[in-house]
Chains A and B, each alone.
Chain A
Amino acid sequence: MKKIEAIIKPFKLEEVKDALSELGIEGMTVTEVKGFGRQKGHTEIYRGSEYTVDFLPKIKLEVVLADSLMDSAVKAIINSAKTGKIGDGKIFILDVDEAIRIRTEETGEKAV
């Protein structure tokens, strides 16, 4: 099993979610996050006091899935989240040791 952590632009969330649903992925976790990479922040000015806002709002999307779905899921995220401009985000892939559904106590790929 793998876990995909994708940092994406907030307005792309719906498209990414739809693309993943089409693959049959049934669950995901989404968090509103702030951060920065190569995309620069913006400045706010209040009566001449300039404040640089480095941390931009992004969405972190976490999905755990079977190894077989991994490649297609990554492609789906890339296709739906890409605008071609700086700030599109990143995808991280991690190994997952185990998954357990609390209600039924199922384990492994059946649980995700």
Chain B
Amino acid sequence: MKAATLGFILCAVIALGAPVRGFAQAAAAAPTPTVEQRLSAVEAYIANSDPRAGVPVNTIGVPGPGHNGFIMVAAALILFMTLPGLALSYAGLVRRKNVLSVLAQTFGIAGVATILWWAVGYSLVFAPGKPWIGGLQYAWLNHVGPAPNTDYSFWVSHNIFCMFELMFSIITPAIIIGATAERMRYAAVIWFTALWLFLVYYPVAHMMWGVDGAMNGLNNPNAIIKSIDFAGGTVVHMTSGWSSLILCIVLGHRAGYPKERMPPNSIVLCMVGTCILWVGWYGFNCGSAMGADGIASNAFLTTTLSAAVGSAAWAFAEWIYSKKSSVLGFCSGAIGGLVIMSPNCGYVGATSAVILGLIGGIVPYFVVVKLKPILGYDDALDAFGVHAVSGTIGVLAAGFMAKTEINPRLALHLGGIVGHTLWLSQIEAILVVTLISIAGSFIAAFIVRIFVGLRPNREQESIGLDLVEHGEEGYIL
């Protein structure tokens, strides 16, 4: 056994040594390249052309290979968060007669958000325009090509940036269906999503992330509210979370809630979905650095810490109160930790991440387990309790915990207020986003109620949305 191991190591050393030796000989034989040759080789690498040609290559307006590739992967990871991550984590938590309805709703939302993004959505968010909404220069994705849009990134293709941001616009309305699960008609979900994107998502995303957005403190020197949001504490989690609360109140509770038993159909599916969300979140948080740079690495570290601590914290709170840590508790805490990190991951250090993870695991626990039964609203899968609560705390925390040492870009326009009064701007941003989310979802829900109707009738609800709306059953056993 020992001899075999030794032999293997010997072979490995020889195999590894061979190419190194060959490379050393070749390097010694070749003439030393001139500075021009080295420069044109680098240019050729950036433009993906022949490094031996030795002719200058234009690298202006050309995406950088590494950053571009990273954002492509990050964008795919965020789509994976929604389909199937979020869809499965929700599907596991409803009753078996509604398991397909949440999957169908997630799919439908992805479609609507994509079509609207192509038409005007992307333009309304990221084209320069008014402080509260973008212009129409990029409608139908005109002028959105492979060359980077230097408003947002010097090395990532404009079309890849556009697709990366699309994934945020898909997952955000999809979060809301957690609050309305098991009792909202499919058509109502689709129409609500379409209206809500225009009334809430596009304005808030433009204000926060648009180059001339009213609340984009990071990149817009003329921002009215100088706030920061790294990866979507306001744009994603606060908008969806607060709208969830409004919509589940407007809808009313599920028939039979809270007297009837409504246990989840599969905690296994929920766990699988949650872990897909966690992995996808690396694309969400690290990709928001818009490149594979040091800020993205910091986001990777803080995201991991916060999710792990949040997961343990919720389970620990359960153990304190009911002497048992549940798998659903681990899942919920992980999401709480990830949500609270979204606005912070590129701005804060490791210790802050651990503290935020603790808060993100424990505070939503109390809201969901203790406060919700007292207030009596039926947030079926706790979209408000986790996303709005953790998200809002996270946005506020960024005001206290963001450091220019972690993210030097903060010094660009916010040097004077980071570490001092940034939290005041964060509070202003919280108020604006919460107000828009509440008002926008009220209006959208009201319109859908009049023209489409929000709920299935009682009989349809008791049969289950899978059969009534989609003509299928999730489990044929």
Contact = CB atoms under 8 A, between A and B. Distances in A.
Contacts, number: 26
A48 B332 CA distance: 12
B253 to A, nearest CB: 13
Q: How large is the interface on A (under 10, 10 to 19, 20 to 34, 35 or more residues)?
A: under 10
B324 A45 contact: yes
A37 B89 CA distance: 36
B372 A45 contact: no
Contacts of A47: 328-329, 332, 368-369, 382
Interface string A42-78: 0011111101000000000000000000000000000
Nearest to B332: A47
Contacts of A44: 263
Interface string B356-398: 0000000000001110110000000010000000000000000
B462 interface: no
Interface in B277-306: none
Nearest to B382: A47
Interface residues of B, number: 18
B21 interface: no
B258 interface: yes
B420 interface: no
SS class, residues of chain A in contact with chain B: strand
A51 B372 CA distance: 16
A49 B382 CA distance: 12
A48 B372 CA distance: 9
Interface in A18-57: 44-49, 51
A47 B258 CA distance: 13
A28 B77 CA distance: 56
Contacts of A46: 93, 263-264, 326, 328
A46 B266 CA distance: 11
A102 to B, nearest CB: 30
A44 B332 CA distance: 17
A26 B324 CA distance: 46
Interface in B245-263: 258, 261-263
Contacts of B373: 48-49
B328 A48 contact: no
B322 interface: yes
A94 B463 CA distance: 39
